Amino acid sequence: MSAAWRPATAEARSPAGTSRILLLIAGGGNRQQIERELAQRFTVVHPEGDALPADGFDLAIADGPGLRRWNHALREAKAAAQPVFLPLMLLLPRTDLRDRRRGLSDLLDDFITTPIDRTEFMERVQILLRARQQALEQRDELVRLVNFDRATGLPNRHLFTDRVQAAMRSADTRGAGLFVAVIHVPLAHVLESVGELAVEEAAMTCSAHLCDLAGENVDLARLRMDQWGVRLFDGGRMEAVFELCARIDRLADCGIEAGGETVYLAPRIGVASYPADADSAAGLIDAAIAAAGRARGGEPAFYTMEQCAAALHYLRTEAGLREAFADGQFELWLQPKVPLQAAGPPSAEALIRWRLPSGAMVPPGDFIPVAETSGLIRDITRWVIATAFDLVARTGRDRGQRLHLALNITPVDVQQPGLSEWLRGLCREHDVAPGQIEFELTETMVCDMDEPTLESLHALRAAGFGIAIDDFGTGYSSLGYLHRLPANTLKIDRRFIDKIPGDSGGATVTRAIIDLAQAFNLQTVAEGVEDAEQIEYLRAAGVDYGQGFHIARPMPETDFRAWLARARANGAHPPT
């Protein structure tokens, strides 16, 4: 063997001098000579008792007896290293080449026969170690791609979530709390103005500023294009949270270069705490994101479980509303209005109700705000209007009564193109006079109207439809608007009606509204009438119509028809 052992060339030496080579060679002569040669360039390791080295290895070299003894352990080591390549070289006499490899070829990556040529041996060792090194580099690159943001080099949400989860376990051990903050920087403005490449440029600059501002006692990550996450190492102190937020808020004063332009971006900060707001890392980060969406004016926003419940309610309600349209779960209910001065035609306010398949009713206060926020209110309004026209038409055909209905709409509805033409088409289709339909808008809505919306209202009034201002008396600029509005009715808000006749303040406001309506030749409707004493006071004060639980509660169409029948049998409306 020694006669064939020639020194390896310089080119065969490994550039990775720290590679660990495990020797599993039973033959003493071979082991000693191989170890002497390898030890000049690598770290040579051996089994530790009955186990392979705990610190691992980069290449295993075994002879036949060593391979048989360590076969199972080597298979486990190679499996544990997956998907990274962990090579195994077999050393065996040429005469044993065929027999010794039988049944082990799936485990081996290379072999060399004895007597050994030093140059060939070292070259094969180098080839295996280079393959191993490439596999490790590919693994590291994959880990970087999976765990770090490409543009900024910061941890991404995947790695940040893992770190937050570890911090939560540590907090549990110490019996402490943990805060996570999410910083929203409005990079969408950069995207809209100077493009996507500039966004990444701005993100890198933002990250550098945030690292400087946040300091050393935090763990910063980039969660998405415009969001950064912060885990406070000293997360149990509320003071630390406010100190951090105050530093981060200074980002608004940092000029950020993007696409050759200098922009100033004010951050919004949301904060969530463990264990109060979530019991998982992903949930805690989502809670902070939700809080950041509500942050305003440089002040951090804190998440609460109540907000989580509200968000879940919103999602479920929106999904339920879409199903309600498909399944026909909406109903049109009516609340009668009665004339207080003289007999008049039957009148009511149309109200939407939502009946679930179980028969349970969803309160309007639970779903109307969701419908308004989600945009579904436009579809709901059109359904209410179309159903109301049909009801008015059927009441006229079946009972010979000219029913007047008031319908609630919003400025968004009024702004819809072609609304007036659509309504006039419904009048022709159902043989309903425009004067039988009145549209109600709240005083707050009226105060916020722009000129195009006012023009649309004037078009409705010119077509013959009624316009009522609901909740009148609660706004602050309605008097200035009143002379410009095409309104024909004022509805006195219930909060004033509740105070009469005993409260002088409520009575004064009510009489002022009545006088104002008479000066502008407008009808008045008092809503929220609860007792007979209020009826008499309002009648004496000159109010035209009353509406409230004392008169009648909102009711389904069937009950409303029965109410109309009783009114007709009495020669008027039921006694008030």
Lowest pLDDT segment from 36-40, 188-192, 265-269, 545-549:
188-192
Q: Please, which pLDDT band fits residue 17 given cuts at 50, 70 and 90? A: low
Q: Please state, in angstroms and rounded to a whole number, the distance separating the CA atoms of residues 400 and 377.
A: 32
Cis omega before residue 186 (within 30°)?
Answer: no
Res. 575: pLDDT tops 50 = no
Domain termination site, one of 250, 277, 303: 303
pLDDT of residue 7: 34
Percentage of the chain exceeding pLDDT 70: 90
Domain CATH code at residue 189: 3.30.70.270
Stretch among 51-65, 172-186, 309-323 having the lowest mean pLDDT: 309-323
Determine the 3-state secondary structure of 177 from DSSP. coil
My answer on whether 122 and 189 are in the same domain is no
Where is pLDDT greater, at 513 or 261? 513
Beta strands in 150-199 (DSSP E): 178-184
CATH number of the domain at 103, please: 3.40.50.2300
Domain co-membership, 179 together with 128: no
The label of the residue with tokens 């390896």 reads: 8
CA 405 to chain CA mean position, Å: 39
- 181 and 108 within one domain: no
More confident residue, 565 or 328: 328
Instruction: Give the whole-number percent of the chain exceeding pLDDT 90.
Output: 38
Q: Are strands 88-93 and 110-114 parallel, antiparallel or unpaired?
A: parallel
pLDDT tops 50 at residue 65: yes
Amino acid 26: pLDDT: 82
Q: Are the CB atoms for 244 and 218 separated by under 8 Å?
A: yes
Token pair recorded at residue 237: 């102190």
CATH of the domain at 443: 3.20.20.450
Q: Mean pLDDT, to the nearest integer, of 99-122?
A: 77
In this structure, is residue 310 part of a structural domain?
A: no
- pLDDT tier at 546 (50, 70, 90 boundaries)? very high
pLDDT at 15: 42
CA angle 168, 170, 172 (to 5 degrees): 70
pLDDT at position 475 is 58
Length of the chain: 576
Tokens, residue 451 = 């000129």
If asked whether residues 427 and 503 sit together in one domain, one would say yes
Rounded mean pLDDT of the chain?
Answer: 85
Asked if 347 and 496 sit in the same domain, the reply is yes
Q: Is 316 a member of any domain?
A: no
Same-domain check for residues 161 and 142: no
In a domain, 216, yes or no: yes
The answer to whether the CB of 270 falls within 8 A of the CB of 181 is: yes
d(Cα 320, Cα 314) in Å, to the nearest integer? 10
Instruction: Tell me: pLDDT of 101 over 70.
Output: no
Q: Is the pLDDT of residue 39 over 80?
A: yes
Question: 46-61 burial string, b = 16+ CB within 10 Å, else e?
Answer: eeeeeebeeeebbbbb
| Residue-number span of the structural domain to which 285 is assigned | 157-303
Domain co-membership, 332 together with 230 = no
Out of 213-222, 283-292, 307-316, 527-536, pick the least confident: 307-316
Of 227, 236, 220, the closest CA to residue 168 belongs to: 236
Q: Give the mean pLDDT of 146-157.
A: 88
- 511 inside domain: yes
pLDDT at 445 over 90: no
What integer is the mean pLDDT of 243-259? 85
Same domain, 107 and 224: no
Query: What is the distance of C-alpha 393 from the center of its chain?
Result: 44
| 574 in a structural domain | no
* pLDDT of 478: 53
Q: Is the pLDDT of residue 46 over 80?
A: yes
Q: In the predicted model, is pLDDT for residue 78 greater than 80? A: yes
What integer pLDDT is reported at residue 481 of this predicted model? 67
Mean pLDDT of 443-465: 85
Q: Are 5 and 29 in contact (CB under 8 A)?
A: no
Is residue 109 situated within a structural domain? yes
Whether 396 has a pLDDT exceeding 90, the answer reads no
- Residue 346 maps to a domain: yes
pLDDT at 566 exceeding the cut of 60: yes
Flag whether pLDDT at 11 surpasses 60: no
If asked whether residues 50 and 125 sit together in one domain, one would say yes
Q: Which of these three, 274, 303, 332, is where a domain ends? A: 303
Looking at per-residue pLDDT, the higher value among 393 and 150 belongs to: 393
Across 84-94, average pLDDT: 88
| 576 confidence band (pLDDT: 50, 70, 90) | very low
Residue 337 confidence (pLDDT):
93
Q: Is pLDDT larger for residue 199 or for residue 181?
A: 181
554 band by pLDDT with thresholds 50, 70 and 90:
very high
Mean pLDDT, to the nearest integer, of 499-510?
79
pLDDT at 13: 36
141 and 167 belong to one structural domain: no
| Number of independent structural domains in the chain | 3
pLDDT higher than threshold 70 for residue 531: yes
Distance (Å) of CA 272 to CA 175, 176, 231, 539: 17, 15, 10, 56
Q: What is the mean pLDDT of residues 398-423?
A: 88
Q: Per mean pLDDT, which range of 5-14, 311-320, 488-497, 535-544 is the poorest?
A: 5-14
Mean pLDDT of all residues in 294-299:
78
Who wins on pLDDT, 484 or 402?
Answer: 402
CA-based radius of gyration for the chain: 40
pLDDT band at residue 4 using 50, 70 and 90 as cut-offs: very low
pLDDT of 195 > 80? The answer is no
Which whole number is the average pLDDT over 72-99?
A: 84
* Mean pLDDT for the stretch of residues 500-510: 80
Domain boundary among 124, 146, 168: 146
Tell me if 576 is assigned to some domain.
no
Indicate if the pLDDT at residue 304 is higher than 70.
yes
Tell whether 126 and 215 lie within a shared domain: no
Q: What is the DSSP string of 228-251?
A: EEEEETTTT-HHHHHHHHHHHGGG
Q: Are residues 208 and 101 in the same domain?
A: no
What pLDDT, on the 0 to 100 scale, is given for residue 407?
96
Task: Determine which of 170-179, 185-194, 370-379 has the lowest per-residue pLDDT on average.
Answer: 185-194
